[in-house]
Every structure is written in C-alpha cells, then in structure tokens.
Homo-oligomer: A and B are copies of this chain.
Amino acid sequence: MAALTKENVIKALRHVDDPDIKKDLVTLNMIQDIEIEGNKLSFTVMLTTPACPLKEVIKNDCLKAIEEHVGADIEVSVNMSSHVTSTRDNAPLLPQVKNIIAIASGKGGVGKSTVTANLAVALARSGAKVGLIDADIYGPSIPTMFNCEHEQPSIRKEGERNLIIPIEQYGVKLISIGFLTPAENAVVWRGPMASSALKQFIGDTDWGELDYLLIDLPPGTGDIHLTLVQTVPVTGVVLVTTPQKVALADAQKGLTMFMQPQINVPILGIVENMAYFTPEELPDNKYYIFGKDGGKNLAEKHKVPYLGQIPLVQSIREAGDIGYPAVMQDSVTANAFKSLSQQVAQQVAIRNAQLAETKRVELKV
C-alpha cells in the first residue's frame, strides 16, 4: 500500500484505461480536481460525453485501482462529469459547435427522421447541448415529430447580420424549412435554392454553444449532401437503413459517397431500423418483414461500427405522429434509442481521439 498523496492517486489511476480509446485516464487528461483530506479522497473523471455508456464501468475501475494501489480503507468519492471532445476548435464556421453529425440513409422512408429526433432528445436528456437541422427541404418531418409545427422562429440582429433563433423543444434547438413555409405547401425548388436554405440553417442561425449538432439529411446523394460537406466539415455520419435489399443498396451508395477520398467523412456507424415487427399483444413474435440482419452485414462488409437495431413498433410511429419522441416514454423502445444515443456519443469520442478534423470538401460540383 502507498501513502494517500496526489502523486500516488495519479499513479494508481494510470492503471485505468478508457475502454474505448484504450489509453489510461491520466494520459487522456480525464482526471481532475484531486482533493485529499485526512482519509478522504475525491476526484473528478471528466468523460468525453455525458451520454457515455461506460460511466459505471469506469467509476468502478477507478475505485478498484485506488483500493489496490493506494489502500482499501480510504473513503473515495468519484465525481463523474463530462466535457464533450471536439476537433473543431478553430473552425471558421460554427466554432462553438463541438461536433457536427450527419444522419444519412440513401433511401427515404427508413426512419431517418425518427432516429434523428430520438437521438437528439436522448443526448439532450443525458445533459449534452444539442441542435438539430432538418435538411430535408422537400419533406421536413422534424416539426411534426417535435410537436411544434406552428412555431415560427424569430430573428435577432447582430451587427449587419440577421440570425435565425432556433425553436427549442424537449431541450433541443431545432431549425426546419417546416417553420418557414405553410405545412400544406410544396417547396418546389431546384437544387441551388434548397442548398442556400441549408447554408442559412448552418451559417445564419444562432446556435450558440453546442456539443452535438445533428443534421437530418434528405434521401439520395445529391445537392444537399454536396452542399453540406462543402459548407462545413462534418465530424461523422450515422447511416440508417432497414434490412431490405433495396434499402441496403441505397445505404451502400450513401456509405460510398461519404467514404470516397474527395469527401472522406468518418462513418460513426450503421443503425438498422424497422429490424422486426412485434405486435403489442404477442411480444414474443418477431416478424422480419423487411428481412434480417441486413444492416449488421453491411456494417461488417465495410468494417464500420454496427450501432444496433430498432424494432418496428406501432408506438414509435405514433410517438412521431403526435410529436412526442418514443425515447421520452418508458418502454423497451425508449431504451433502444437511449442505448443508440450512447453508442453514437461513444463513437464520436473515439473518432475525436483517433482522427484529425474532417476537411471541408473543396471539389467543385
């Protein structure tokens, strides 16, 4: 056993690795505020995200390390806090936004907006500062899913600039074309108009400080996608697919787009949505309406993380239609979405520890 000193505590905690980043907490600068008073020790573990799924594991590892390498009779209090990491500190656009995460799918109707809405609410509930851009100009679903279809954002003057103030709902800052045009009207625009709306949502919106800015992309691999990667470096992409062949084919196109060398945005992982249908009165029956494990196989093929599956449950769709995301309810699905949000936050932290900032795409198209 060693004496209870700051040095020995640090030495002991060098034995605790962050299980994702696979370096020890001291090297990672995650140990702060060590205080010793007689037999009492307290310190803070600064996690890379409040949505860290391994919070308890890390805390227990710290307690064990102190017990083993300093002493068993110490009264230890571990304060778990977080500071979301970023590679965007010197970004010219949105420098206060730590991570920009695009949610893409290739194919429409696979539940991209449902996943994005639930991801945003889950991250906000974990304590993170979250924004959401609904980049589906032709079919904005986010206002409905957040039950704020009739809200209209106000404008704030900042010098010569007009900044849109996002709508805040369930702790998430939101912007969507749905707030700016009547719901029944079609937005019949060619690509450049749609692209300039996205640019405004990124550059002319008063986002303030955010840990995660999620971007709900439209289907396809066209104007909006190109404009996004040319406007702002994207931290990573979450790809949503259903297990059916025609959806996987389009998801693969989405993957190929972001992975191609000129674009080169890291893939945070693949979510398999509508993985199976379960009738509420027959919870043991799983119907693989759209096929089985398609998302998992795609992730394996491209060696990207598989973030898990979300079942097709009537209550998820109903939750979206009434504007109260499923993750806010007390159910199996709420847990599935909560777990998904932890997986995504974890992948962002791993990406930030391993890779440099994404480069803004310069290609002229």
Query: For A250, what are the chain B residues with a Cβ–Cβ distance below 8 Å?
Result: 138-139, 141
Give the contacts of A234-263 with B (CB-CB under 8 A): 242, 244-247, 249-250, 252-254, 256-257, 260, 263
Distance in angstroms from A25 CB to nearest chain B CB is 40
- A178, B199: Cα distance in complex, Å: 31
Interface on chain A toward B: helix, strand, loop, or mixed SS?
loop
Cβ contact of A314, chosen from B141, B189, B242, B289, cutoff 8 A: B289
The bracket for how many chain A residues form the interface is 35 or more
Give a binary string over A210-244; 1 marks a CB under 8 Å from any B CB, 0 the rest: 00000000111111011000000000000000101
Q: A191-B222, A218-B220 are in contact. Are A139 and B365 (CB under 8 A)?
A: no
Q: A187-B253, A279-B285 are in contact. Are A138 and B219 (CB under 8 A)?
A: yes
Number of copies of this chain that the complex holds? 2
Q: Is the CB of A184 closer than 8 A to any CB of chain B?
A: yes
Query: For A256, what are the chain B residues with a Cβ–Cβ distance below 8 Å?
Result: 184-186
Q: Is the CB of A325 closer than 8 A to any CB of chain B?
A: no
- A103, B257: Cα distance in complex, Å: 27
Q: Is the CB of A61 closer than 8 A to any CB of chain B?
A: no
Instruction: Mark A residues whose CB is within 8 Å of B.
Output: 106-110, 113, 137-139, 141, 144-145, 183-192, 194, 218-223, 225-226, 242, 244-247, 249-250, 252-254, 256-257, 260, 263, 277, 279, 285, 287-291, 312, 314, 317-318, 320-321, 365
